[in-house]
């Protein structure tokens, strides 16, 4: 951050400069109306080096705010406001504290491999969210990703993103190349059609660099970098570290295919591949519980069928099959199984022990929701949409659980996963119907 003489833009008091780019400056500011810290991005319209007219520059700037403003996702920087003051156009966004991914890479800060893969997977799923709403980012690179203290990524800077554009924006983009050279896809360089698979290629470049600290396509000049992207095959990740799983090379090369038709079709497929690898790595780690478990499988199965509607119509053989595809994990007393706010793709069945479910209120106090024991399930909502956890689960004593990974189940036994989806969704739908009925009774 750079200290500056404070000034005001609208109701926002500007206090520090926190970033500077080709099109403008980002400031730290205080929103006096609701008393919160925000980031304010301004635009330069009088730069003689700009290739666009003043009108076009403002159009592109406002387009970024409109595009990002239509995306409401915890891993995308939120847009709060847009305005103009004494000839300065600006928009106001969420102030994000954390580490810039570019700094993590250049400074070679130690980050465990599984944590890196989870971050890349989260970025992929966030991109999928944007893609499904018609937004292509077109400039995915480490400098546009912030890593928060809870290890979640935030995608920033939609300055060259594309949505449903009007005639002015179409005129601006015609014949121009957008993006950052090292992270461009071959079709961006060749001026071809850019779509969601172009973002997937850029994310593949980012992932490769994050894991290896080396760029997959490099050169001593811009021309050589662009030629490498179009023509060269990068060294496998195992070239940098032979301990890396070979499956990781397969995933990266799939994302970095020259022809976009050969890449992952959707960003969530990239995320699924990474999450499957994470599951495999975790199942072979020390957390996996290989000690013989002394419990009657039939007793647990009957408990599941009796207590949980989403298992009630499963045959015992089907539940046994789910158990076979799932990992057994052991937790010590006081150990956190998952934290509130963390993204999840697993649900859990307690085999032995007890688990305390707590939620933190606005005052920062943990409120106990329930205590679960043998045969109880928790975390099942993650099966539906890889959602973020609404509570924290902690082992109260030596506890063994069966963890059902939604991605493993969906890919290996899709018919069982679909059955579980439908049953859980039916329960959620029934709860919504009851809530809707209560609201009608209140207001009628």
Domains, the chain, in order of start with CATH, read 2-94 (3.30.200.20), 99-283 (1.10.510.10), 297-432 (2.60.120.10)
For residue 258, CA distances in Å to 24, 318, 351 come to 33, 42, 48
- Known active-site residue 385: no
> Could you give phi then psi for residue 55, rounded to 5 degrees?
-65, -45
Which tokens is 314 given?
Answer: 């499963």
Rounded Cα distance, 235 and 232, in Å: 9
What does the pLDDT read at residue 341? 84
What does the pLDDT read at residue 163? 47
Q: Terminus-to-terminus CA distance in the chain, angstroms?
A: 55
For residue 102, CA distances in Å to 16, 105, 137, 140 come to 21, 5, 18, 12
What does the pLDDT read at residue 169? 38
What does the pLDDT read at residue 432? 80
Catalytic residue among 31, 122, 139, 376: 139
Q: Which residues of 380-415 are buried (b: 16+ CB within 10 A; e: fewer)?
A: bbbbeebebbebbbbbbeebbbbbbbbbbbbeebee
What does the pLDDT read at residue 173? 47
Query: How confident is the prediction along the chain (444 residues), in pLDDT tens digits per residue?
Result: 677 888 999 899 999 998 876 567 889 999 988 899 999 988 765 555 555 666 766 766 677 677 777 788 889 988 888 888 888 888 898 998 899 999 999 999 999 999 999 999 999 999 999 999 888 888 899 999 999 988 899 998 775 555 434 433 344 344 455 568 899 999 999 888 889 999 999 999 999 999 999 999 999 999 999 999 999 999 999 999 999 999 999 999 999 999 999 999 999 999 999 999 998 888 766 555 555 444 456 777 888 888 888 898 999 889 989 988 888 889 999 999 999 988 888 999 998 899 999 998 878 888 999 999 988 889 988 887 777 888 999 999 999 998 999 999 999 999 999 999 988 888 888 878 887 887 787 776
């Amino acid at each position: 951050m750079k200290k500056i003489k404070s000034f005001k833009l609208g109701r926002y008091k500007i206090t520090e400069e926190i970033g500077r780019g080709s099109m403008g400056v980002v400031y730290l500011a205080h929103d006096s109306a609701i008393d919160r810290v925000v980031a304010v991005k301004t635009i330069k319209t009088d730069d003689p080096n700009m290739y666009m007219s003043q009108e076009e520059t403002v159009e592109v700037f406002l387009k970024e705010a409109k595009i990002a403003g239509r995306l409401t996702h915890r891993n995308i920087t939120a847009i709060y406001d847009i305005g103009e003051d004494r000839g300065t156009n600006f928009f106001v966004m969420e102030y994000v504290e954390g580490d810039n991914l570019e700094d993590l890479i250049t400074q070679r800060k130690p980050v465990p491999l599984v944590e890196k893969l989870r971050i890349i997977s989260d970025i992929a799923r966030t991109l999928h969210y944007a893609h499904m709403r018609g937004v292509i980012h077109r400039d995915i690179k480490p400098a546009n990703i912030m890593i928060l203290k809870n290890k979640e990524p935030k995608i920033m800077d939609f300055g060259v993103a594309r949505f449903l554009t009007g005639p002015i924006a179409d005129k601006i983009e015609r014949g121009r190349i957008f993006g950052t050279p090292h992270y461009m896809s071959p079709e961006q360089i060749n001026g071809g059609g850019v779509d969601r698979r172009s973002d997937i290629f850029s994310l593949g470049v980012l992932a490769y660099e994050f894991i290896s600290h080396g760029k997959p396509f490099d050169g001593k000049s811009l021309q050589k970098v662009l030629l490498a992207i179009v023509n060269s095959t990068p060294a496998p990740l195992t070239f940098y570290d032979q301990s890396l799983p070979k499956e990781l090379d397969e995933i990266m090369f799939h994302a970095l295919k020259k022809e976009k038709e050969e890449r992952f079709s959707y960003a969530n497929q990239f995320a699924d591949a990474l999450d499957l690898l994470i599951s495999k790595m975790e199942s072979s780690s020390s957390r996996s519980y290989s000690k013989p478990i002394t419990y009657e499988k039939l007793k647990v199965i009957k408990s599941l069928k009796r207590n949980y509607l989403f298992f009630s119509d499963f045959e015992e053989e089907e539940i046994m099959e789910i158990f076979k595809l799932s990992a057994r994990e052991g937790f010590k007393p006081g150990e956190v199984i998952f934290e509130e706010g963390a993204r999840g793709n697993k649900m859990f069945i307690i085999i032995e022990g007890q688990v305390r479910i707590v939620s933190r209120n606005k005052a920062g106090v943990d409120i106990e929701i329930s205590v679960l024991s043998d045969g109880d399930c928790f975390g099942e909502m993650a099966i539906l949409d890889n959602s973020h956890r609404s509570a924290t689960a902690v082992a109260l004593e030596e506890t063994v659980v069966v963890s059902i990974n939604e991605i493993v189940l969906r890919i290996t036994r899709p018919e069982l996963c679909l059955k579980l989806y439908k049953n859980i969704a039916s329960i959620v739908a029934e709860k919504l119907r009851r809530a809707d009925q209560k609201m009608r009774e209140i207001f009628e």
